[in-house]
């Protein structure tokens, strides 16, 4: 994305704010907020005590219409997604509500690094429970028929990123026909597990880098986190967003805490009638197997971000994803053949080629 796009965006934002706020000609200079794993960039427009977020989403790469559409669904569902004030789909420009900079992740890392005592553990739990309550609202109130289905083809395409980008491109493995068949059979097992679950609206990246702690002075207390990066939402398995949240690629929690928070969701979802007939053991299995599908996807995506998009920083997050995968896969006999191959052939290459400790 060239600087010329930022100049265009800056001019467009000034024109939009002039109309929106009923001002004369204004000349605000956008300041960079962040980029993300996609092609989008975010800038802040500060005007006196008001601030807005300007989004640069090149239409050749990003679907701004879908962003606006899903933002509306989430707001209608009663959760905090940004209001859209102006849009230019042909250029890929949006002007949206500013939720601030207080992402969950830095705050969670701060609490974790300080050592969890009763107070900090309560604060961690409060943040996650707020995110879980918001998730229940989304699953209860967003009509899944409005979203594309997270079907077998999509699940398989995502997991194949592991085979193509992680195994072949990143690690340089030459996979035999027998190995490809083992991988395909493992993918089929996880697809069946996902498709057999109750289906609801799925954010698909519901974790600590896409949730914000909102300012109580601007938003109602207890209104939950600000939710961003939702434009890839689909209709899929009920456990997907929960495992994305609790087995986060960017921060790891004690399994006891993860279990207690997962059960908090289970109790709320059961009470809301979302997962009728699902026992606690079945819920745990659903949660675990959905996490394995996501692990495959993420190993592939992080590899692609490094190789194709020149974002090598994502390689540092692969060891945690592999750690989750090994811990969970070892609990399911259906994963034993794949796990044996993974530990024998893949891990040795990960350690050698990426110089990583696992």
Question: Quick one: average pLDDT of 207-236?
Answer: 90
Architecture of domain 3-97: 2-Layer Sandwich (3.30)
Fold of 104-354: Aminoglycoside 3'-phosphotransferase; Chain: A, domain 2 (3.90.1200)
Residue 351: alpha-carbon gap to chain centroid: 26
Nearest Cα neighbor of 150 from 293, 338, 316 is 293
pLDDT band at 15 (very low <50, low <70, confident <90, very high): very high
Grouping H, G, I as helix, E, B as strand and the rest as coil, residue 263 is helix
pLDDT for 25 equals 84
Grouping H, G, I as helix, E, B as strand and the rest as coil, residue 77 is coil
pTM: 0.94
Q: Which residues contact 272 (CB under 8 A, 6 or more apart)?
A: 136, 139, 140
Could you give the C-alpha distances from 289 to 191, 240, 265, 310, in angstroms and in order?
9, 10, 17, 31
pLDDT for 272 equals 98
CB atoms inside a 10 Å sphere around CB 181: 11
What is the per-residue burial (b if ≥16 Cβ within 10 Å, else e) of 155-173? beebbbbbbebbbebbbeb
Summarised one tens digit per residue, pLDDT across range 95-105 is: 999 999 999 99
pLDDT for 1 equals 42
Indicate whether 356 pLDDT > 70: no
Summarised one tens digit per residue, pLDDT across range 142-183 is: 999 999 999 999 999 999 999 999 999 999 999 999 999 999
pLDDT for 105 equals 97
> Where along the chain do the CATH 3.30.200.20 domains lie?
3-97
């Amino acid at each position: 994305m060239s600087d010329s796009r930022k100049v265009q965006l800056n001019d467009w934002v000034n024109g939009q704010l002039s109309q929106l706020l009923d001002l004369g000609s204004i000349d605000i200079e956008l300041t960079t907020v962040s980029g993300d794993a996609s092609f989008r960039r975010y800038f802040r427009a500060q005007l006196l005590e008001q601030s807005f977020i300007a989004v640069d989403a090149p239409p050749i790469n990003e679907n701004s219409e879908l962003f606006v559409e899903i933002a509306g669904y989430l707001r209608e569902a009663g959760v905090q997604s940004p209001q859209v004030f102006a849009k230019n789909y042909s250029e890929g420009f949006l002007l949206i509500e500013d939720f601030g900079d207080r992402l969950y992740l830095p705050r969670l890392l701060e609490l974790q690094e300080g050592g969890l005592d009763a107070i900090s553990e309560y604060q961690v739990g409060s943040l996650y429970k707020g995110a879980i309550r918001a998730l229940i609202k989304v699953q209860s109130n967003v009509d899944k028929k409005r979203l594309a289905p997270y079907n077998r083809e999509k699940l398989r395409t995502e997991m194949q990123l592991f085979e193509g980008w992680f195994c072949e491109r990143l690690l340089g493995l030459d996979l035999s026909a027998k190995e490809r068949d083992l991988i395909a059979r493992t993918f089929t097992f996880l697809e069946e597990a996902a498709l057999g679950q109750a289906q609801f609206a799925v954010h698909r990246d519901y974790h600590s880098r896409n949730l914000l702690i909102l300012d109580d002075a601007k938003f109602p207390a207890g209104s939950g986190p600000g939710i961003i990066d939702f434009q890839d939402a689909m209709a899929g398995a009920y456990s997907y967003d929960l495992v994305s949240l609790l087995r986060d690629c960017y921060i790891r929690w004690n399994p006891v805490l993860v279990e207690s928070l997962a059960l908090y969701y289970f109790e709320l979802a059961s009470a809301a009638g979302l997962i009728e007939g699902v026992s606690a053991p079945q819920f745990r299995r659903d949660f675990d197997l959905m996490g394995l599908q996501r692990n495959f996807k993420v190993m592939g995506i992080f590899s692609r971000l490094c190789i194709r998009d020149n974002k090598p920083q994502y390689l540092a997050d692969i060891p945690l994803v592999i750690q989750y995968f090994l811990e969970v896969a070892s609990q399911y006999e259906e994963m034993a053949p794949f796990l044996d191959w993974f530990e024998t052939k893949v891990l040795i290459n990960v350690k050698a080629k990426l110089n990583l400790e696992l």
